[in-house]
Amino acid sequence: MPVDVNDYIQDVSGTILRDVAGDNGRPVTVQDVSRQSGVSTATVSRVINQSPKVRPATRVRVLKAIRELGYMRNHSARALARQRTDTIGVVFPGIDSGFFSEVLKGINEYAVSRDYHLMVAFSQGLPDEHDRVAEYLQAGRVDALILMNLGMSDQFIRQASQRELPIVLIDRPVKDARVASVMIDNISGADAAMSHLLALGYERIAILNGPDGTIDAEQRFQGCQRAAKRAGVTLNKDLVWPGTFFWESGYELMKHWLDSGKTLPEAMFALNDPMAMGVMEAMRERGLSVPKDMALVGFDDVQAARHLGLTTVHSPMREMGRAASEAAISLVTGGRTRLERVLPTELVIRRSCGVERES
Amino acid sequence: MPVDVNDYIQDVSGTILRDVAGDNGRPVTVQDVSRQSGVSTATVSRVINQSPKVRPATRVRVLKAIRELGYMRNHSARALARQRTDTIGVVFPGIDSGFFSEVLKGINEYAVSRDYHLMVAFSQGLPDEHDRVAEYLQAGRVDALILMNLGMSDQFIRQASQRELPIVLIDRPVKDARVASVMIDNISGADAAMSHLLALGYERIAILNGPDGTIDAEQRFQGCQRAAKRAGVTLNKDLVWPGTFFWESGYELMKHWLDSGKTLPEAMFALNDPMAMGVMEAMRERGLSVPKDMALVGFDDVQAARHLGLTTVHSPMREMGRAASEAAISLVTGGRTRLERVLPTELVIRRSCGVERES
DNA sequence: ATGAAAGCGCTAACAT
DNA sequence: ATGTTAGCGCTTTCAT
């Protein structure tokens, strides 16, 4: 069914672009098609919507008229009549965690395949965030909402979810709310990275943490603890440093460390890639290198990580987008969906932690 | 006027989120508000749309009803009646040049300030690109179209522009088409970079070009020539290398160069940052460094450039987005606009070309 | 299989 | 300043 619809659309749009509505200015409507093909508007609508109850001959006549007139269906009218927009709203935080484009592509991929459109907004700050969401919540704008990594309170989300509009949260679960959520398996990812470091025999392992209160930081650190516990070692509190998840954070830490003259740890696990890259850069500036002077592992597997040979935990951003998109559309169309999805992460071993396996 | 409208919306949305439509399932309409407040729907509409011709007392009554009922205006109905959607469509290429998020934010910034929404699509490949554009061209979906850096032919664009829908092109001019375009000043940017290198006294300057046929590559190379000409030198053809604009391109070039044992040039101008970063990485792997063993300049000023101390030409992506957004909305609302805008670029001097000024 | 007609929720003349 | 009314373009019963 979707396939047919697409075919139809391509057909029409091809026409549009070939000979542009030469007639008058007024846009072509079903009425016009109806008149031109000698059938009722109801039948025209049936043809447009691939209803099987149209005699082939009739269908052809209508299609011909559509083509001749360069008819295109009007979205607003259709949405108004059907009470759905075939559009899903996406709200991202204004500060770019760097992933959003990947996630958005994932969302888009699936949405397109289901013939859905995307309405996106970036929120700058909390009040604006609320406004944006509230705006999309307005009946008729979108059929579902995907919210990524926003700062709004659980309470706000819970209230928002009272409306009939399906909501999907990326990178954040909410208890007690009728919303779907998709996250990545931060814990296992961090566990794997830490375990790898431990298996390599490193003992003095520093951890550059993320900011307090973010779920990613919390879970990743939790993963570290799990790995340590399993290995029967304890994390050295003195080697756990607070970070911001920004590049500067890693850069500054390492710079101070080197300035202080203290000996470096054998290895460091930066809880995201930008920080790891900051660390690398600070070392490079001092003529030190990874993994010679210190092993290093990151988290997220941003594009640059590959280029720098940084061992890191791959966060499946694209897939998160896809999953969110699937959940949203499935909620809209009434399909069954798992309300909580946790996507697996995977350790990608490169040269920064001392073993040369992949590049 | 926009301010008032926003106030109103915030008002309403506040309500929405406070006490959720407790009543029945049916969404609240102007009719309901009309009934509840004892005025006609026309007046309700006037209040909603900030018409000045409403007695304050009446306005208050209506506002009260709106609040009590948790009324939200229906976008589709409004769009259908007004024949405008307050939405602008944005089509990006599926392959991420890395900028698109910046540009999108710029577009969003201005759009939001004018109370417009964004509908975005990524096209994968040429046919899909056409489809996406054609789809948005459908009356009623969006009020204007911003196309970024797509591969479609001038002819296609020209035909698309025949429709009444305003079109704004980013990073590409089209002759003879009734479209607006915003670009960056590649020529002056490259000229400045090249001139800088020449002023520093470098003579053997290699150029790592972009792919043939892309306007960015062409113009940037042109800028190089202009600088050379003005300085009274000629570009050494043997030092001009074809590139792809991808990281790998720079990496491979430099690797081969080093493998070949040929002496390095004194300086290199990579016509975009990713390639420059590839070059740096290849050098780093050989224990060479910038600018000690070779000066290096990039183009675009991506985020990592700052971290790596790469001298480069700043491309104002955010501003491009803003400008495109302005142009689009201004075309929609009938305001006058420059149809061609070329945004200035700026050389950002960091340590990679041999002088330590900024960091 | 097809048509007639009643909306979907809102706006915008036109009247008063 | 406010009300009446006729659409906007499409879908969808309900008849036939």
Chain A nearest CA to B111, separation (Å):
10
Task: Answer whether any strand D atom is within 7 A of the Cβ of A85.
Answer: no
Instruction: Map residue B118 onto helix, strand or coil.
Output: strand
Query: Chain B residue with minimal CA distance to A79?
Result: B76
Chain B residues within an 8 Å CB radius of A281 = 307-308
Instruction: Map residue B151 onto helix, strand or coil.
Output: coil
- CB distance under 7 Å to strand C: residues: A 38-43, 46, 53-55, 57-59, 77, 80-81, 83, 140; B 26-27, 29-31, 41-42, 44-45, 48-49, 71-74, 77-78, 80-82
Distance CA A312, CA A151 (A): 26
Chain B nearest CA to A227, separation (Å):
32
Q: Which of residues 20-39 of B touch strand D (CB under 7 A)?
A: 38-39
Which of A164, A92, A131, A142 is CA-nearest to residue B13? A131
Task: Answer whether any strand D atom is within 7 A of the Cβ of B58.
Answer: yes
Query: Chain B residue with minimal CA distance to A6?
Result: B131
Chain A nearest CA to B312, separation (Å):
18
Cβ separation B278–A307 shorter than 8 A: yes
Select from B14, B18, B122 the Cβ nearest to the Cβ of A105.
B122
- In which residue are the tokens 């609320």 written? A130
Integer angstrom CA distances of residue B28 from A300, B71, B353: 45, 5, 64
A109 and A328 Cβ atoms separated by less than 8 Å: no
- In which residue are the tokens 């008149």 written? A35
Q: Which tokens hold the place of B200?
A: 């520093």
Q: Which tokens hold the place of B291?
A: 């600018």
Select from A14, A79, A163 the Cβ nearest to the Cβ of B20.
A163
E strand residue ranges, A262-327: 267-270, 295-300, 311-314
Cβ separation A105–B85 shorter than 8 A: no
Cβ separation B277–A307 shorter than 8 A: yes
Cβ separation B17–A159 shorter than 8 A: yes
Sheet of B311-314, strand order? B240-241, B205-208, B267-270, B295-300, B311-314, B346-348
Instruction: Give the pLDDT of chain B (359 residues) as one tens digit per residue.
Output: 222 333 333 333 333 443 444 445 678 999 999 999 999 999 999 999 999 989 999 999 999 999 999 899 999 999 999 999 999 999 988 777 678 888 999 999 999 999 999 999 888 777 777 877 887 877 778 999 999 877 777 788 888 877 778 999 998 888 777 789 999 999 999 999 999 999 999 999 999 999 998 899 999 999 999 999 999 999 989 999 999 999 999 999 999 999 999 999 999 999 999 999 999 999 998 989 999 999 999 999 998 999 999 999 999 999 999 999 999 999 998 877 778 999 999 999 999 988 644 44
E strand residue ranges, chain B: 87-93, 117-123, 144-148, 167-170, 180-184, 205-208, 240-241, 267-270, 295-300, 311-314, 340-343, 346-348
pLDDT in tens, A56-72: 999 999 999 999 998 99
Domains of chain B, first to last: 19-72 (1.10.260.40), 84-184+317-344 (3.40.50.2300), 186-316+347-358 (3.40.50.2300)
- In which residue are the tokens 């050494």 written? B236
The separation between CA A160 and the C-alpha centre of its own chain, rounded to angstroms, equals 20
Distance CA B76, CA B65 (A): 22
pLDDT in tens, A85-124: 999 999 988 777 678 888 999 999 999 999 999 999 888 7
The DSSP letter of residue A27 is P
CA angle A217, A221, A225 (to 5 degrees): 170
Distance spanning both ends of chain A, measured CA to CA: 44
Distance CA A159, CA A155 (A): 6
Q: Which residue's CA shows the smallest distance to C1' of C13?
A: B42
List all nucleotides in chain D with at least one atom under 7 A from a protein Cβ: 1-5, 7-13
Distance A42 CA to C4 C1' (A): 9
